[in-house]
Structure 1
Amino acid sequence: MEIRGPMLLPARREEVELRTRDGLTLVGELAVPADRTPVATLVTLHPLPTAGGFMDSHILRKAAGRLPALADLAVLRFNTRGTTSPRGTSEGTFDGGHAERLDVEAAMDLVRERDLPDPWLVGWSFGTELALKYGREHPVTGAILLSPPLHRASAEEVAAWADDPRRLIAVIPELDDYLRPDEARERFASVPGATLIAVAGGKHLWVGETQTRRVLTEIVAAVHPAALPLATEWHGEAGEATSRSAAG
Structure 2
Amino acid sequence: MSTDGTDAHPIRSLTVLPARRADVELHTADGLTLVGELAVPEHAPPAATLVTLHPLPTHGGYMDSHIYRKAAWRLPAMADLAVLRFNTRGTASPRGTSGGAFDGGLAERFDVAAAIEFVEFHDLPRPWLVGWSFGSELVLMHGRDPAIEGAILLSPPLHRATDADLDAWAAFGKPLVVLVPELDDYLRPDEARARFARVPQAEVIGVDGAKHLWVGESSVRRVLDEIVGHVLPDHPLPLPTEWAGDTVEATA
Superposed pair shares fold, TM > 0.5? yes
CA–CA separation in structure 1 for the residues paired with 2:55 and 2:202: 22
Residues 1:73 and 2:81 are matched in the alignment:
yes
Question: Displacement, 1:122?
Answer: 0.2
The root-mean-square deviation of aligned C-alpha atoms, in Å, is: 0.9
Structure 2, gaps ≥5 residues long: 1-8
Q: Please list the CA deviations of residues 68-97 of structure 1 after superposition, one character each: whole Å capped at 9, or x if unmatched.
A: 000000000000000000000001000000
Question: Displacement, 1:3?
Answer: 1.1
**Is contact 1:220-1:228 (8 Å) kept?**
no
**Is contact 1:31-1:75 (8 Å) kept?**
yes
1:163 partner SS: helix
Residues 1:2 and 2:19 are matched in the alignment:
no
Q: Match of 1:43, as an amino acid?
A: V
Residues 1:109 and 2:125 are matched in the alignment:
no
How do 1:1-248 residues align onto structure 2 when only pairs under 5 Å count? 1-229=9-237, 230-242=239-251
Question: Displacement, 1:170?
Answer: 0.2
CA–CA separation in structure 1 for the residues paired with 2:58 and 2:197: 30
4+ residue runs over 3 A deviation: none
Q: Match of 1:212, as an amino acid?
A: V
**Residue correspondences, number:** 243
Structure 1, gaps ≥5 residues long: none
CA–CA separation in structure 1 for the residues paired with 2:14 and 2:76: 15
TM-score between the two structures when normalised by the length of structure 2: 0.95
CA–CA separation in structure 1 for the residues paired with 2:228 and 2:236: 7
TM-score between the two structures when normalised by the length of structure 1: 0.96
Question: Displacement, 1:138?
Answer: 4.3
Identity of aligned residues (%): 66
**Is contact 2:174-2:201 (8 Å) kept?**
no
CA–CA separation in structure 1 for the residues paired with 2:181 and 2:218: 13
Question: Displacement, 1:193?
Answer: 1.6
Q: Match of 1:89, as an amino acid?
A: T
Q: Please list the CA deviations of residues 122-180 of structure 1 after superposition, one character each: whole Å capped at 9, or x if unmatched.
A: 00000000000111134100010000000000111012122222100100000000000
CA–CA separation in structure 2 for the residues paired with 1:6 and 1:86: 16
CA–CA separation in structure 1 for the residues paired with 2:167 and 2:208: 26
